[in-house]
Amino acid sequence: MNKIIIAVDGHSACGKSTMAKYLAKSIKYNYIDSGAMYRAVSLYCLQNAFFQGDNLDLLALREHIDAIRISFRFNEVTGRSDTCLNGENVEKQIRSMEVADKVSPVAAVGFVREAMVRQQQEMGKNKGIVMDGRDIGTVVFPDAELKIFVTARPEIRAQRRLDELIAKGEKASFEAVLENLKKRDFIDSTRKDGPLRKAADAVLLDNSDITIAAQNKWLMELFRQASAG
């Protein structure tokens, strides 16, 4: 069976990464969370005081962009890959609401996207990869053999993300999470470079009302069809 590229795009917190991780594990492919890369760049901006309130110092970020290296390291305990920023494990920090609040403006910057897209294309050059994000099927891998676009109703997505944050011991309210998701969806969909949109040849999945088991079954069938062709 030929190795393929699987691109999973969609709205914030609709379970893309759970889905992409399950698929990658089942078919023994590498999984890359491209959102984690933009989150890590945002953390770098926060750590280096590039933000004054909501204002981002673009000149400073441009000077540093080539020095920001994102990598993934397998965690034996969780069985998942952790995100590293210049070699340091930042998996926990990048999932905070503070980073969620800054990530979409950072990800809208053209030169940030260019740098991340380059790193992502490099990671996929041998295929056998599942990558999730916003522009994977449209910009990063426009020739991906399987493209999936995932969405769900905003309130359902907010509840899923809130449950995730609470499980990790973070404090957040349903309203704050919902507002953050809506704000990010808006910025992600309306930006000039690599906006969030469904590729014409992507399969659409609204998973508001379907079980994870049903979703996984559907996914494996899609994979079988795509890798056979």
Q: Nearest distance from residue 31's CB to ligand CDP, in Å?
A: 12
Q: How far apart are CA 104 and CA 193, in angstroms?
A: 12
Pick one of 5, 6, 7, 13: the residue that binds ligand CDP (CB under 6 A): 13
Applying CB under 6 A, the site for ligand CDP has a residue count of 16
181: exposed, middle or buried (Cβ count in 10 Å: 0-12, 13-18, 19+): buried
For residue 208, what are the CA distances in angstroms to 47, 64, 152, 157, 160?
A: 36, 40, 5, 8, 11
Based on CB atoms, which residue is closest to ligand CDP, 165 or 219? Answer: 165
Pick one of 34, 151, 207, 215: the residue that binds ligand CDP (CB under 6 A): 34
Binding marks (x or -) toward ligand CDP, 129..158, rule CB under 6 A? ----xxxx----------------------
Pairing label, strands 129-133, 5-10 = parallel
* Longest pairwise C-alpha distance within the chain: 51
Q: Nearest distance from residue 119's CB to ligand CDP, in Å?
A: 11
Residue 160 binds ligand CDP (CB under 6 A): no
Pick one of 8, 27, 56, 107: the residue that binds ligand CDP (CB under 6 A): 107
Smallest CA-to-CA distance from 32 within 53, 8, 50, 10 is with: 8
Pick one of 61, 103, 165, 226: the residue that binds ligand CDP (CB under 6 A): 103
- Look up residue 42 and give its two tokens: 């945002």
Residue at 151: amino acid letter? T
Residues 162-191 touching ligand CDP, rule: CB under 6 A, are: 184, 188
Q: How far apart are CA 195 and CA 77, in angstroms?
A: 35
Based on CB atoms, which residue is closest to ligand CDP, 1 or 179? Answer: 179
Pairing label, strands 30-33, 129-133 = parallel
**Binding site residues, ligand CDP, CB under 6 A:** 12-13, 17, 34-35, 38-39, 103-104, 107, 133-136, 184, 188
